[in-house]
Structure 1
Amino acid sequence: MWLILKLGKERFVGISVAYATWAGPQEHDDEREIVLAAWRQVGIAGRAVRWDDPDADWAAFDAVVIRSTWDYVLRRDEFTAWAHQVAAATRLFNPAEVIERNTDKSYLRDVPIPIVPTHWGDGDLPEWAEYVVKPSISAGARDTIRTADRERALAHAASLRAAGRVPMIQPYLDMVETEGETSLLYFGGRFSHAVRRNPMLAGRATAADADNVRATVREPDADQRDMAETLLASLPEGVLYARVDLVRLADGTPALIELELTEPYLYLSFAPDSPAALANALRERL
C-alpha cells in the first residue's frame, strides 16, 4: 500500500487513499482533481473509485475518503452497509458510525444547538406562512416541496410516511433570501472557510442548480462560529471534514439547517488554502 513519491527535492512515503465517488458524470464533481492534486503535495497517492464497484479492493488502500457518493440516497441501506464493510477493512473517513447517523436527518433531534423549527408528526402542525416538507433521508431537495397550502403540506408528509419514510415539516424562512444560508467548513476540527449559499427553494433557484455557482465567500459572525464549534465538539473522534449549514431565524438567532458529514460539496475553489488544509488534515489522521 505504501509508495515512495518524489516531490521536488523531498522524498515522501506515499499513502494510498481511495477517493470514493459515484457512477455519475465525472464533470459533476469539479472538486475531484483539486483534492487529488492537494493530496499528492503531501505524499498521498489518491485514486477515484466508485463506492459500489464490485471489484474494488478496499483493503488495498491505507484509507478511504467518502466524497462524491451522490447516488446513495436511493440506496441508503446498501450505502451504510458498504461503509461498515470498508471500515472493517481499512480507515474510513468519515467513520461508518458517523455516516450511518448523518445520512438520516433525524439526527437533528439530538444536536446540542438550536435547529430550524421542525415538525416530526408529534402534535398539531404549527401555523406557518409557508411550509417546507421533505423526507429525513434525502439530498439536493429531492422529494422536497415548498407550499403555503397547509393541507398540501400535510398530504405530502402523509405520502412520504405511506412510503415508509420519515417526513419533516419546517417553516420556509424568508431570511434565507436576504441573509442566505451560511456554510462553515471544518477540516480536522479546524475552521477553513465559509460561504453564503443561495437557497434551493427560493423562486430564482431550482434544485438542479449546482452549489458551486450559487455561493459567495463570506466571513461568519462570531455567534455562528461559536455555534458551529459547539456542535463540532459533540462529534466523535475521527471526523475528517464537516460542513455546518446555518441560517438566522426571525429573531436573529442562528440555527442549524444541516450538519453535512457524509458527502458535502466543500467549496474548495472558493478558498485558495482549503485544499491544502483538507490534505494536511487527512495526513494527520493517518
Structure 2
Amino acid sequence: MGARIAMVTSTDGIDMDIDLPLIVDALCAEGCAAQAVAWDTGSPAWGDFDLAVIRSTWDYTERLGEFLAWAGETARVTLLCNPAPLVRWNSDKRYLLALAERQVPVVPTRFIEPGERCDEAEFGMAGEVVVKPAVSASARDTARYERDGHPDALHHARRLLAQGRMVMLQPYLRLVAEGERSLVFFSGVFSHAVRRQPVLTEPGLTDHGRVPHPGVTGYRPTPAEMRTALAALAAVPSAEAPLFARVDLALDEARNPVVMELELIEPNLFLHLDPQGLRRFVEAVAGRARRTAC
C-alpha cells in the first residue's frame, strides 16, 4: 500500500472545494491512499495517516482556538502540513509585522488591540482606508471607506474591538484595480500565478456573500513581484520551506509590489485552472509522504 494521505477539509469544503477531488484522484493515481477528511471529524484517527495536508478548512477563523488545538494534537501523531507552529503564526495577520521587520515590503498596517484607544486620529492616513479583523478569511467583516466615510470606518473598527477582536487599518491601494497577484509555491519552488479582480469593490460595504476570488486568470509575475514573493517566503519562521504557500501582492502608488497576505493555512491554489500546477502539487505531496514513510 502507498502512503496514507489525508487532504484536510471542512464540512463545507468537502462539497465546495473543486480542487479537492482532483488532488485525491491524482494522488491515488500516484499509488497513494488519499482521501478527503474534515478536520473536526471523529473518524478516522489522524494517526492512521502518514501525512495530513490542510487544504480547505474554511471555517477555521470562526473556531480558531479549537482549530489550533486540533493542529497541535494532530501534529503529535502524524506529519501535518503545513506544520502546527506555522499554522499558529499565520492565523493572525500580525505576521505582516514580522515580514516588515525582515525588510519585506508589505501594505502599511496599524494593529489595534481590544482595550487600546481607537479614535479619529487613527484615520489620518490619506485617501481610502480598509478596516478588517486580524483573524479573518475571504474578506469577512472587512470593508473599505472613502475619506468622507471615515466616521463609518471608526464605527466599524470599534464594533470589532467591542467583540474582542484585534483590528487592522490599512490604506486602500488604488492600483489594486489592476488586479491582485497570487503567486503559488510548493516546497519553496514557484509553480504558477493568477491575477484576480479586487474584492472590495463598493466603499462602506461589509458583505459576507462576496465571491472570494473574482475574475481569476493565469498570470506571469514580473521579476519584481517574484523577488517580493521569495523575500516573504524567506521570512517564514521555519527551517523547511512550507509544503504550499500563496503570496498575494498588489502594487503601491510607485507601482512596486507589496505583500497583502502570505497564505500558509488553507489558500485556494487554483489547481483546477492549471494542470501543471496540480501535477507539481501532487508531486510535492507524494514526495513529502514518501520521505515520511521511510
| TM-score, normalised with respect to structure 1 | 0.90
In structure 2, do the counterparts of structure 1 residues 223 and 261 end up closer, same or farther at CA, with 3 Å as the change threshold?
A: same
Distance 2:128 2:285 in 1: 42
TM superposition shift of 1:142: 0.8
Alignment counterpart, residue 26 of structure 1, candidates 11, 14, 20:
14
**Residue deviations 1:114-151, cap 9 Å, x none?**
11121224874333321110000011111112222112
Deviation at 1:246, TM superposition (A): 0.3
User: Does the residue aligned with 1:199 lie in a helix, a strand or coil?
Assistant: coil
Aligned pairs for 1:130-141 within 5 A:
130-141=128-139
1:49 to 37, 42, 64: 37
Q: Which runs of 5+ in 2 are unaligned?
A: 290-294
Pair 212,133 (structure 1): closer, same or farther in 2 beyond 3 Å: closer
Please give the secondary structure, in 1, of the residue aligned with 2:191: strand
| Secondary structure of residue in 1 paired with 2:11 | coil
Aligned match of 2:256 in 248, 253, 256? 253
- Picking from 274, 277, 280, the partner of 1:277 is 280
Kindly state the Cα deviation for residue 28 of structure 1 after the two structures are TM-superposed.
1.4
1:264 Cα offset (Å): 0.4
Deviation at 1:152, TM superposition (A): 1.5
Distance 1:212 1:258, change over 3 A: closer
Give the partner amino acid of 1:283.
Answer: A
> Which residue of structure 1 lines up, in the alignment, with residue 215 of structure 2?
214
Q: TM-score if structure 2 supplies the norm length?
A: 0.88
Show CA shifts across 1:148-168 (max 9, x none): 211221221122112111100
- How many residues are treated as equivalent by the alignment? 273
SS in 1 for 2:18: coil
Read off the aligned partner of 2:142 and give its amino acid letter. Answer: T
Offset from partner CA, 1:19-74 (integer Å, 9 cap, x none): 11111263311011111122123222211111001233000000100011001111
Select the residue among 84, 90, 93 that pairs with 1:96.
Answer: 84
Q: What pairs up with 1:168-247 in 2 under 5 angstroms? A: 168-177=168-177, 179-203=178-202, 208-211=209-212, 214-235=215-236, 236=238, 237=240, 239-247=242-250
Q: Check conservation: 2:249, 2:261, Cα contact below 8 A.
A: yes
- Is 1:36 aligned to residue 24 of structure 2? yes
CA distance in 1, matches of 2:62, 2:141: 11
Check conservation: 2:129, 2:145, Cα contact below 8 A.
yes
Deviates more, 1:262-271 or 1:147-156: 147-156
Structure 1 stretch displaced more, 151-160 or 215-224: 151-160
Going from structure 1 to structure 2, the CA distance change for 1:127 and 1:213 (only over 3 Å counts) comes to closer
Identity of aligned residues (%): 40
Aligned to 2:292: none
CA distance in 2 between counterparts of 1:154 and 1:247 reads 25
SS class of match (1:67): strand
Gaps in structure 1 of 5+ consecutive residues: 4-13
1:256-267 equivalent positions in 2, closer than 5 A:
256-267=259-270
